[in-house]
């Protein structure tokens, strides 16, 4: 299939050929869901912790005798049902990360890219030189195309100055094509991608 290429002013210049199996498939919602869930789980720190009745401060002796007082029987003041007692079955530090099949992740990438292209939310920009590293200069380019909507800008590893300039823009994520994640692509309203990056993605996802 063919995709339009625009310049930094948003004017269409030409078309490039990309693979239908990468940018023109029926989006697989389940693959996207599994990939997003996996990425969010892998980001969790898992440092939450509560104290059990064996760990909280307090006497371990029996508050009163078992029978004859008329009160409910109890073995320790650290009982979870008492104020200042331990927590029953509370969270402990754990690792939430897990892996999913590589083919599922690749299908999710293809599905998100195809979905953005179908909805006309993907813009391919021809090669341009960005040497200042200034946020103001980047916004001058991006605002011609994206109009301030939550977006992701996919670039190459060579575009370090561009990525640095984008760090100050809350609604823009500058991502390297070789280190993408499904979350940022899926939740972005628009995708802006350099011509070199889309050709690299085309080759990488087609090969896998």
Domains of the chain: 2-45+101-207 (3.40.1370.10), 50-90 (no CATH)
The predicted model gives 198-204 an average pLDDT of 89
Place 28 in a pLDDT band, splitting at 50, 70 and 90: very high
pLDDT digits (tens, 9 = 90+) for 87-124: 999 999 999 999 999 999 999 999 999 999 999 999 99
Chain center to CA of 34: 12
Place 15 in a pLDDT band, splitting at 50, 70 and 90: confident
pLDDT digits (tens, 9 = 90+) for 44-86: 999 999 999 999 999 889 999 999 999 999 999 999 999 999 9
**pTM for this entry:** 0.84
Residue 110 sits at the vertex; the CA angle it makes with 108 and 115, to the nearest 5 degrees, is 95
Query: Helical H runs in 69-126?
Result: 102-118
Q: Residue 147: is its pLDDT beyond 80?
A: no
């Amino acid at each position: 299939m063919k995709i339009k290429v625009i310049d930094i002013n948003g004017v269409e210049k030409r078309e490039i050929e990309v693979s239908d199996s990468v940018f023109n498939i029926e989006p697989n919602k389940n693959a996207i869901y599994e990939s997003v869930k996996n990425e969010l789980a892998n980001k969790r720190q898992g440092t939450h912790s509560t104290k059990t009745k064996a760990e909280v401060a307090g006497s371990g002796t029996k508050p009163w005798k078992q029978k004859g007082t008329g009160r409910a029987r109890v073995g320790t003041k650290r009982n979870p049902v008492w104020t200042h007692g331990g927590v029953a079955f509370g969270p402990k530090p754990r690792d939430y990360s897990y892996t999913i099949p590589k083919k599922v992740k690749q299908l999710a990438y293809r599905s998100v890219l195809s979905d953005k292209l179908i909805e006309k939310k993907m813009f391919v920009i021809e090669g341009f030189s960005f040497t200042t590293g200034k946020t103001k200069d980047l916004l001058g380019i991006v605002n011609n195309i994206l109009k301030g909507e939550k977006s992701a800008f996919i670039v190459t590893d060579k575009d370090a100055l561009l990525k640095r300039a984008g760090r100050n823009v809350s609604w823009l994520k500058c991502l390297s094509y070789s280190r993408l994640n499904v979350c940022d692509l899926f939740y972005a309203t628009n995708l802006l991608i350099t011509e070199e990056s889309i050709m690299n993605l085309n080759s990488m996802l087609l090969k896998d």
